[in-house]
Homo-oligomer: A and B are copies of this chain.
Amino acid sequence: MIIGTLGPEGSYSEKAARQWDDKADLKFYDDIFDTVDALMRKEVDCSIVPIENSLEGSITLTLDLLMEHQLKITGEIIVRIKHCLLSKGKIEDIKVIMSHPQGLSQCRKFIKNNFKGIEIRSDLSTSHAAKLASESKEIAAIASGESARMYGLKILDENIQDVKENFTRFIVIGKTTPALTSNDKTSIIVYLEKNRPGALYEILGEFASRNIDLTKIESRPSKKALGDYVFYIDIKGHIEDKPIKETLSKIKSKVGMLKILGSYPAAK
């Protein structure tokens, strides 16, 4: 089993992959795009990428890739995120703070309160930022404690995200649909006809009338026009459940586009 994920070592994505399958071989990629591409080029058996953080919200690139390509979600993993401020030097030496944009956003207040006016650089991953921090005392990275050990950095501060309870949900993208369990989720993307008032209400009604529980609904730009959206919807249940099958076929007849991203066991 080869899993592709965001590297280098020490990333939260690595943590997610180990949590998913601690015996698998991991292959690390530079960014989410390459990680997903590796699966499409069959370099890996599945890929694990972040999709949503409890403070910052969706990882928009992941959502966009799910829209653009034929990908199947086969699982999800929830990882607790504890960001640390890492550096080779001391606090006074720091001239640049680097991290993945999500890391920077999740620690926005921390940076603003402690390092107002400092140079901020976004990097491809938190662990890559840690790797770069190991090359200069002037660079501090916002990354995991594991990254500190991995790249020989000091932990100058820990649990620095703006809200202590901080979780990221990762998805497993693979080839097969997992069999039905007692606790599944199904993810879909729906594009409604533009300018039809009440259309979203009607769609949600199909779920509500069958007591199907929505766990998430999120709008993203359709990229066609400002104010035109697609909806990413997660529901409880498996595509093989009769009510869900029924609902989705009903919805299909009412919308501009319905894309089924997959059914998979829900993370606890």
Contacts and interface: CB of A to CB of B under 8 A. Distances in A.
Contact of A52 (B61, B224, B226): B226
A176 to B, nearest CB: 25
Contact of A105 (B60, B217, B223, B229): B60
A165 B200 CA distance: 25
B104 A221 contact: no
Nearest to A205: B201
Nearest to A228: B54
Interface residues of A, number: 49
A167 interface: yes
A221 B106 CA distance: 12
Contacts of A52: 221, 226
A112 B123 CA distance: 14
Nearest to A207: B201
A183 interface: no
Contacts of A60: 56-57, 105
A52 B214 CA distance: 25
A207 to B, nearest CB: 7
A95 B166 CA distance: 35
Given A121-B122, A217-B219, 6 more contacts: A54-B226, A55-B223, A101-B122, A197-B213, A201-B204, A204-B204
Contacts of A200: 204, 214, 217
Of A61, A121, A201, A218, which is in contact with the most chain B CB atoms at under 10 Å from its CB? A201
Query: Chain A binding site: helix, strand, loop or mixed by DSSP?
Result: mixed
**What is the oligomeric copy number?**
2
B56 A226 contact: no
20 contacts: A33-B112, A52-B226, A61-B105, A61-B108, A104-B122, A120-B123, A121-B121, A121-B122, A165-B225, A167-B226, A169-B226, A197-B208, A197-B211, A197-B214, A200-B217, A201-B204, A205-B205, A216-B227, A217-B217, A218-B218
A230 to B, nearest CB: 11
A163 B120 contact: no
Contacts of A105: 60-61
Nearest to A267: B226
Nearest to A229: B216
* Cβ-closest 8 pairs across A and B: A122-B122, A54-B226, A201-B204, A201-B208, A197-B213, A167-B226, A198-B208, A121-B121
